[in-house]
Amino acid sequence: MKTPLASPAAPLLVALLLVAVPASVLARSSDRNKPMDIAANTTNYVTDESEPSVLSGDVVITQGTLDIRSSKAEVTSRDSEPTRVVLTGSPARLKQEMDDGSPFSADASRIDYDLTSDIVTLTGNVVVKQRGNTMNGPRVVYDMKTGRVQASGSESGGGRVRMRLVPKTAPASPARDGAEGG
């Protein structure tokens, strides 16, 4: 029989680690082998998995360069395996360094990772930044199996998806050859 303190830790740690998978496709691969530190003001764990385990109040999860911050984290498990992780906050934030040293970040009111389908859904004031590129909108869905990203405005029509793509090689500023326009 597992001790009450050990029981919630294993599935919770695995689930929270897996939240980083969308970023970890290109994220610092060595982070997976580093210890994960988790802190929250309160934790509510149900041993029979009849309801999600809940961390709340200034939730901070770090592992190597991975830094997750949210107001609340809910982890649903089945047979001691996490099946869904939901982070909520104002915003919930995920940051991680890529293998090439560039930063990746995602902010949203809600980050919902369905581990059974490998789909991450970010909703509410979504901002994703990577290598100078940004995507903003009310909703972004990332299918980790296919690599497909689908962003949409709000159903009420009040929101739009906005993207800024930066060329890999930024154009040099115009050379000044002494001919200044007047």
143-151: average pLDDT: 78
83-117 confidence digits (pLDDT tens) = 888 999 999 998 888 778 888 888 999 999 887 88
Give the pLDDT confidence of 36-81 residue by residue, as tens digits: 778 899 999 888 888 998 999 999 888 888 888 999 999 888 887 7
Q: Cα separation of 98 and 118, whole Å?
A: 20
Q: What share of the chain is helix, strand, coil (3-state, %, to 5)?
A: 15, 50, 35
Which CATH number is 68's domain given?
2.60.450.10
Cβ–Cβ < 8 Å for 112, 139? no
At residue 1, the 3 state secondary structure works out as: coil
Whether the predicted model's global pTM rises above the 0.85 cut: no
Is residue 171 in some structural domain? Answer: no
Q: Using CA atoms, how far apart are residues 27 and 74, in angstroms rounded to an integer?
A: 24
Q: Is residue 180 part of a domain?
A: no
Range of the domain at 82: 6-164
Split into its structural domains, the chain has a count of: 1
| pLDDT for 2 beyond 80 | no
